[in-house]
Amino acid sequence: MSRLVAVSNRISIPKRGAAPGGLAVGLLTAIQARRGLWFGWDGETSEVAGSEPSIVRKDDVTYASIDFDKAEYYDFYLGFCNGTLWPLFHYFVDGFRYKDVQYEAYQRMNHRYAKHLAPLLEPDDIIWVHDYHLFPLAQRLREAGATQPMGLFLHIPFPNIEVLRVLPVYGELLQAMLAYDVLGFQTETDVQAFRSAVAYVWGEEALNADSSVTLGGRRVVTGVFPIGVDVDAIQREAVESQNTDACKRMVAGLLGRKLMIGVDRLDYSKGLVERFKAYEKFLETHPENQNRVSFLQIAPLSRTDVRAYSEIRRDLEQTTGRTNGRFADTDWTPIRYLNRNFPHDVLMGFMRSAQVGIVTPVRDGMNLVAKEFVAAQDPSDPGVLVLSTLAGAARELTGAIMVNPYDARGMAHAIQQAFNMPIAERRERHQAMNDVMRRNSITAWHTSFIETLESVVEPPKDFRLRFG
Ligand code: ADQ
């Protein structure tokens, strides 16, 4: 069995007392099974970046990490990755910024990843790269002489070509993606968007009927690999954590009211401002719910050095203040808005205690919170998921109440419907979603991606060594 080398912008190095999240656990299981290597940034920045990766071995996994210097952090990570690619790939054409100097930093960083990773590779490795931070990595590794099979999985949406071509360097990035052997996406829409971009640049003749593309004699397999969760593990976590102090306190604070919960990284793609406005509309148009339901929104801060993120934070604080000022009572706070992290099991316990889960991104690659909410429910008395049609998860979780996240009135109506859904219908919808999630589990995700990567028989041998 080949060794698996996983590469992601950020890696989770095991620390005492800190449990990694669902995605990290899933990936780690796959790496562990193949006594593999996980390579990436350790999350630290320093004045001068270290010259060698630092290596830690634990439980059959080797962690090789690099740090960033300040310029790399600003220009590569905050700049091109999160100020250019992230907004554009989530269709925020207005919020997108492009600077040559940041793109150059992006290319330089990918070069540095390759330079540090190449000496750690073994001939029979298979290499699985994650996400938009590392589109050019395969190209750089090939130039360094690597001939191993390489796959890229994109966790975020792939935009339609009419949006993609707003980016001055879109052609170069597409070309870079074609140095991989396998390109994996969350949904069929993303694969189609990628294929239409290839056809736009190189013509329809580059597209093969079997969903691969061929360019310059190289064949690149494209496919849909919807990321999932471990339904049974989440169910266990949710049940066990209901006895924790944190869960008991949260439930006691409801004073018997029904609960709607939202859990998201604080990001403009998650549709939080629109969601808060919809909840305000719900309290206004369905006043019988005042003082009878509570909305708990957990949203830890992320990317606080990017301006768009401080703006959304301000908007949310204003909307929360207005709604609470307008509707609160001496013993009732309509929105409880918390900017903090919780251990994963506690979150699952919170979700199990909620009658409604609200997941309304204005654009999302998949959205694991939607799947976690469903998996955490008590099957005999499950809560109801209200889900944006613009989340990748909407393709699979068709038992949710679907909403357009920009339609406040429609969302208010959906929340009302969710709180009042009869138990038979709740059970039926929950069962259907659980069945799909068991099929498309986190194990199915990494197994099928790795199998596809292993099926790539002849990696290209025509890239010459460039590092001196
Ligand atoms: P993200 O945009 O980060 O991921 P998401 O899929 O929602 O989003 O996953 C977030 C994870 O963080 C969930 O497992 C959730 O439980 C956890 N989390 C959220 N808030 C938390 C808190 N307060 N405390 C602790 N944990 C918290 C990107 C893409 C998504 C895609 C994933 C995986 O943007 O579309 O689903 O990758 O591919």
pLDDT digits (tens, 9 = 90+) for 22-61: 677 788 889 998 989 999 998 889 888 878 999 999 988 9
Distances (CA, A) of 292 to 136, 258, 399, 401: 52, 6, 25, 21
pLDDT, average across residues 128-156: 97
- pLDDT of 467 > 70? The answer is no
DSSP structure class, residue 288:
G
What is the bridge-based pairing of β-strands 384-388 and 401-403?
A: parallel
User: What is the C-alpha separation between 59 and 119, in angstroms, rounded?
Assistant: 22
Q: Where are the alpha helices (DSSP H) in 118-271?
A: 137-143, 161-164, 170-177, 188-202, 231-241, 245-253
Contacts 24+ apart (CB under 8 A), 250-258: 250/296, 250/350, 250/353, 251/353, 254/294, 255/331, 257/291, 257/292, 257/293, 257/294, 257/332, 258/292, 258/293, 258/294, 258/355, 258/356, 258/419
User: What is the C-alpha separation between 235 and 216, in angstroms, rounded?
Assistant: 49
User: What is the C-alpha separation between 358 and 401, in angstroms, rounded?
Assistant: 10
Residue bearing the bigger pLDDT, 15 or 175: 175
User: What is the C-alpha separation between 375 and 236, in angstroms, rounded?
Assistant: 10
- What whole-number percentage of the chain has pLDDT above 70? 96
Atom 21 of ligand 1, nearest CA residue: 341
Q: What is the pLDDT of residue 20?
A: 60
User: What is the C-alpha separation between 297 and 334, in angstroms, rounded?
Assistant: 11
Beta-carbon contacts of 307 under 8 Å, excluding residues fewer than 6 positions away, are: none
CA of 466 to the centre of ligand 1 (A): 38
Which ligand 1 atom minimizes the distance to the CA of 393?
Answer: 36
pLDDT classification of 449: cutoffs 50, 70, 90? very high
User: What is the C-alpha separation between 42 and 26, in angstroms, rounded?
Assistant: 19
The two three-digit tokens of residue 83, written as one number = 């100020």
What's the pTM? 0.95
- What whole-number percentage of the chain has pLDDT above 90? 85
- pLDDT of 140 > 60? The answer is yes
CA of 402 to the centre of ligand 1 (A): 20
CA of 142 to the centre of ligand 1 (A): 32
Q: What is the pLDDT of residue 95?
A: 87
Query: How many other C-beta atoms lie within 10 A of the C-beta of residue 354?
Result: 25
Q: Using an 8 Å Cβ cutoff, are 40 and 8 in contact?
A: yes
The two three-digit tokens of residue 167, written as one number = 């980016």
Which ligand 1 atom minimizes the distance to the CA of 369?
Answer: 7
Q: Using an 8 Å Cβ cutoff, are 326 and 290 in contact?
A: no
Ligand 1 pocket check: which of 92, 237, 367 to mutate, most ligand atoms within 8 Å of Cβ? 367
Which residues belong to the active site?
Answer: 155, 364
Q: Hey, what domains does the chain have and what are their CATH numbers? A: 4-228+444-454 (3.40.50.2000), 231-438 (3.40.50.2000)
Q: What is the pLDDT of residue 468?
A: 30
The two three-digit tokens of residue 223, written as one number = 């496919």
Which ligand 1 atom minimizes the distance to the CA of 391?
Answer: 35
Q: What is the pLDDT of residue 16?
A: 55
63's enclosing H/E stretch is strand 61-69
- pLDDT of 461 > 80? The answer is no
pLDDT digits (tens, 9 = 90+) for 284-322: 999 999 999 999 999 988 777 777 788 888 999 999 999
